[in-house]
Amino acid sequence: MVAAAHHPQVYGNLYNSYTVSIAMGLPQSIVVSMRLPAESGRQLRRMARRHGWTASDASARLVEEGLRRAEFAFVDFRDSSLGRQAYLQGSSLAVWEVALLLRDYKRDTAAVARHLGWPEAKVRAADHYAEAFAAEIAEALAENDAVDLKSLQRMLPQAGEFVPRRSRKS
């Protein structure tokens, strides 16, 4: 059963309309009732407890992640020290980290693909996700940009600046 107080106008895709609803102060959610197998319900409650969420919050997050995975190739979600994040399947990189490389390589997807040893389609998939969820990715990039060597050394005293040496050609 689905009940909604308001049906926001869709602009582009589902996620953009969700963002537009938030920006306009419109209702951000609908109520959906569902039945789960008992074991799935127990797993959902365990996950919710582990994250400090309600079972309802956990199920909403999982549905949202599932919808995003269905829409964006190569994207998966994992727990990290920063919370749940979008990652690229088969890698240890979060989407925002690929976006950082794209920024450094002036949005050259082929160059980033060569750098990572990935097919270019995988880099484009990260770029598409980053475009669709620009605010989410911008926040992660801003947090990363805010960390300088001094703040890193406060957390990791052994950290030092790495300066690559040029290799000598014979």
Per-residue pLDDT of the chain (170 residues; tens, 9 = 90+): 333 333 333 333 333 333 434 444 445 788 888 899 999 999 999 999 999 999 999 999 999 999 999 999 999 999 988 889 999 999 999 999 999 999 999 999 999 999 999 999 999 999 999 999 999 999 999 999 998 999 889 989 998 888 887 766 65
Is residue 140, in this structure, part of any structural domain at all? Answer: yes
Same domain, 137 and 109: yes
Q: Provide the residue type at 132 as one letter.
A: A
Please name which of 29, 83, 25, 84 lies closest in space to residue 60, comparing C-alpha atoms.
29
**pLDDT score recorded for residue 165:** 79
Q: What's the pLDDT at 160?
A: 87
Residues 93 and 121 placed together within one structural domain of the fold: yes
As for how many domains the chain has, the answer is 3
Residue 58 contacts residue 48 (beta carbons within 8 Å): yes
Rounded Cα distance between 81 and 102, Å, is: 23
pLDDT of residue 30: 87
Contact 57, 48 (CB under 8 A): yes
| 12 shares a domain with 62 | no
Q: What is the pLDDT of residue 65?
A: 96
- Do 48 and 27 have their domain in common? no
- pLDDT of 83 reads 86
Q: What is the pLDDT of residue 57?
A: 92
Q: How many CB atoms lie within 10 A of CB 45?
A: 14
**What integer pLDDT is reported at residue 15 of this predicted model?**
38
Parent domain of 24: 1-33
Q: Note whether residue 164 is domain-resident.
A: no
Phi, psi of 36 (to 5 degrees): -120, 150
Tell whether pTM > 0.85.
no
Q: 94 and 112 in one domain?
A: yes
| 15 to 50, 52, 111, 112, 135: CA distances (angstroms) | 26, 25, 29, 26, 12
Same domain (yes/no): 141, 79: yes
pLDDT at 2: 37
**158 three-class SS:** coil
